[in-house]
Structure 1
Amino acid sequence: MAYDQIIFTPQDVDLARSPLAGRIDAETYVLGAFNPGLTRLANGNLLMMVRVAEALRQPIRDGHVHAIRWTAEGYRLDGWPLALVDTADPRKFMMRGGGWKVMALTSLSWLLPVELSPDGTAVVAVHYDRAIAPTTDYQCYGLEDARISRVDGRYYMTTCSVSPERHATTLYTSDDARDWALEGIVLDHQNKDMLIFEGKVGGKFWAQTRPLGDLYFAYPPDSEWRPGPSINLASSPDALHWKPYDKPGIRPHAATVATARMGGGTPPILTERGWLTVWHGVEPSGVVGVYRTYWSILDREDPSITVATDHAPLLEPAPALTEPLKELLYLDNVVFTTGIAEQEEFFVVASGEADLACRITHVPRSTFA
């Protein structure tokens, strides 16, 4: 790649300007500044909407592990006895016992707008005054992993809102990608990685979705597909009310274990060959697996049809990029691509690296020719 660098890190976040600053009686730090949504502003610059995971410096005290929760009256700290939880994954803790999985997060995430130069290689401004934090009960544990699309001159930003009520996809809209209005929940429980196409198909909004569950039915033994989480499709007349498409989208291929689990990455953009979609595949390994970035091109009239794809990863985790941040690392083997923008002879691709920092990569257009 001509350019492949870390552009924004936890060290670049000024917590004195955080939405949580002065609102909780505990010291916090930035666990990660990562998984940025990406779009182009009217002035030509790029905008990253960075997920800032703000965590308690000392979550464990007095025999309890604590989490941050938003309420209408302010932020609160909740504590669970250590004997009731499993803390193997540093991003969360799981409740022991019960008939289903229940977890809590070690951090609360909010969104920080970071303006970049047109090619994404320099930070121009950090807009703390336009940060987006929880404002309602279904966001009480934070907002995660923004994806930004521009359709007919208007910006649409999907986020994952987290609470005990539901794990849902919420939509924000804007005329300028600076002032955002919360439109509410658009996909319900456990439907992550919703990506709105940057353009309409048949006069409708289209989106990739990724429903989650604990049960998947088997394909026939000789099928080319592997059962498990996959990328589905949905359409909408207004970007608020979505109907799942009857045909499947992108599914895990039986020929490779590297994409045994998959989900959407960047909002699909229209190229000469069709809709370019960049997505993530997860190879089972360790606690969270190995995350890599892949690509496919979908038919412009029927996005359930894959025109071209490649089993070889577009991006791999890059430990050398995070070497200067090694004292902050808590995960490895993760690159999670979340944004794309066109720029002359290449695409600017934005990713979260190691759930820690924002990575910008220039990918030549010829890669997808």
Structure 2
Amino acid sequence: MPDSQVQSPQTASSPQARGPYEVDRLVLVPDDIDLSKSPLRGHIEAETYVLGAFNPGLLRLPNGNLMMMVRIAEALRTPIFDGHVHAIRWEDGRYVLDAWLLELADTADPRKFTLRGGGWKIMALTSLSWILPVELSPDGLEVVAHHYDKAVVPQNSVQCYGVEDPRVSKVGDRWLMTTCSVSPERHCTTLYSSDNGLDWRFEDIVLDHQNKDMLIFEGKIDNQFWAQTRPMGDLYFAYPPGSEWRAGPSINLAHSNDGLFWKPYLKPGIRPHSGTVATARMGGGTPPILTEDGWLSLWHGVEPKEIVGIYRTYWSIVDRNDPSVTLRTCHEPLLEPNPDLTRPIEHQMYLRDVVFTTGIADAGDHYVVASGEADLACRITHVPKSAFRV
């Protein structure tokens, strides 16, 4: 049984977006999370708060309801005290605080701090992320239950700084969920599986390098698993002058016989176009789903602006037999950040200009699309299928 059966009074009255979609609203905000049921309770004495409840994976349960797998970033209310800056860390089944001398750290960003020295970038987080299953009504607009007892939490050393950014795909009769696991050992992609969409089993590390957006296709190609990947780096080589492509982060591809051991695909996937800066940096968003036209992929493009940039959602249709071939794409954004939606939680905003689409579910004549808004809340949008036939 779920820990609570609720319809959030805050999100139920959230305003509709002034945009192209009839249904576009926030369905989960930080104040909806009950931290008395957090996995951190009873381990650390320092006060914490929900920095963000965002970037949800999405799946359709056997009972017809939707399930969001929500990243909960639980942060220290006061990370700096006693001349030190502190980080939360999982260690052997418990949560502890580490203290770093303030004079060694750059604390300009409230979400993290950078440690000076060493000759390369070293940072730690003032929050630790865990994943909360939140059950929704079939249309995705009402919260049915918060399943705190089914939370996905750190359980080994490669996750000591948290489990982040779930992406959920159904392949055959089983759900597969990729997550980012964070530790000093490595910043890697880990895989979970489930037979019912609620109880999750840790499988293994599947990518042993920084990769923020591994998305497993919802279906096989020639009896193989396929995935979009986005290896991170700070060095990219230039395309020749006049190329239609822009050098920088892009969406790569990999395939696997068993979903555990992955081989990069020789051909590139979806790449930034040189004709626009709106997608100068890009990465995957939702697991590709098969349509009559090919695999539908929603992805994010980032326009350079200040430190973080402007995150928008775009889409492409790729070939059902060779997903390196893009059949159709749109340079106009499918979703944009919407300040109207976050106005009721303005006092909690620490980041702007970000919508990060992370889940999709078929709902007949439309798709239910789940996004993180401002790295703070969960946004549900009903996007008609006709939007992808232009």
Q: Residue 28 of structure 1 corresponds to which residue in structure 2?
A: 48
Is 1:86 the counterpart of 2:86? The answer is no
Name the stretch that deviates more: 99-108 or 119-128. Answer: 99-108
The percentage of counterpart residues that share the same residue type is 71
| Correspondent of 1:140 among 153, 160, 167 | 160
**Matched ranges for 1:121-132 at <5 A:** 121-132=141-152
How far apart are residue 174 of structure 1 and its match?
0.7
CA distance in 1, matches of 2:181, 2:236: 24
CA deviations 1:265-310 (Å, max 9, x no partner) are: 0000000110000000111111211111110000000000001001
Deviations 1:196-232 (A, max 9, x none): 0000011100000000111111110111111111100
Task: Provide the residue aligned with 1:198 in structure 2.
Answer: 218
- Give the Cα–Cα distance (whole angstroms) in 2 for the partners of residues 334 and 227 of structure 1: 22
The reply on whether 1:109 has 2:105 as its aligned counterpart is no
Classify the secondary structure of the residue corresponding to 2:230. strand
Alpha-carbon distance in 1 for matches of 2:383, 2:108: 36
Structure 1 residues 298-341: Cα deviation after superposition (integer angstroms, max 9, x where no partner): 00000000010011111000111010001111000000110000
Q: 2 CA distance for matches of 1:284 and 1:316? A: 15
Residue type of the partner of 2:87? A
2:380 aligned residue (322, 345, 360): 360
CA distance in 2, matches of 1:207, 1:90: 33
Aligned to 1:253: 273
- Counterpart of 1:275 in structure 2 is 295
Shift of 1:90: 2.8
RMSD of Structure 2 on Structure 1 (CA): 0.8
Could you tell me how far apart the structure 2 residues matched to 1:190 and 1:101 are? Answer: 14
> How far off its partner does 1:96 sit?
2.3
Cα deviation for residue 238 of structure 1 reads 0.5
What code does the residue aligned with 2:364 have? E
The whole-number CA distance in structure 2 between the counterparts of 1:343 and 1:256 is 32
Q: Is the 8 A contact 1:156 1:172 kept in 2?
A: yes
Aligned to 1:324: 344
User: Following the alignment from structure 1 to structure 2, what is the Cα–Cα distance between the partners of residues 265 and 4?
Assistant: 18
Deviates more, 1:137-146 or 1:94-103: 94-103
Specify every segment of 5 or more residues in structure 1 that has no aligned partner in the other structure, as ranges.
none
CA distance in 1, matches of 2:93, 2:321: 49
Q: Is the 8 A contact 2:194 2:201 kept in 1?
A: yes
1:97 counterpart = 2:117: yes
The one-letter amino acid of 1:251's match is R
Alpha-carbon shift at residue 73 of structure 1 (Å)? 5.0
TM superposition shift of 1:97: 3.2
Residues 229, 284 of structure 2: 8 Å contact kept: yes
Distance in 1 between residues matched to 2:330 and 2:319, nearest whole Å: 16
TM-aligned CA deviation for residue 99 of structure 1: 2.1
- The correspondence of residues 44-55 of structure 1 with structure 2, limited to 5 A, is 44-55=64-75
3-state secondary structure, aligned to 1:297: strand
Q: Distance in 1 between matches of 2:174 and 2:30?
A: 30
Amino acid at match of 1:66: H
How big is the shift at 1:101? 1.4
Distance 1:184 1:160 in 2: 12
Once residues 346 and 91 of structure 1 are traced to their aligned partners in structure 2, the CA distance between those partners, rounded to angstroms, is 36
The answer as to whether partners of 2:83 and 2:102 remain within 8 angstroms in 1 is yes
Counterparts of 1:131 and 1:227, CA distance in 2: 39
- Could you tell me the TM-score, scaled by structure 2's length? 0.93
Counterpart check, 1:263 vs 2:283 = yes
Per the alignment, residue 310 of structure 1 pairs with: 330
Decide which of 158, 162, 166 is 2:186's aligned counterpart: 166
Structure 1 residue 83, shift from structure 2 partner: 2.2
Question: For the residues of structure 1 that align with 2:360 and 2:56, how far apart are their CA atoms?
Answer: 10
Aligned to 1:284: 304
Judge conservation of contact 2:93–2:155 (CA < 8 Å) in 1: no
State the AA in 2 paired with 1:221.
Answer: P
Q: Distance in 1 between matches of 2:286 and 2:111?
A: 23
- In structure 1, distance between residues paired with 2:135 and 2:303: 33
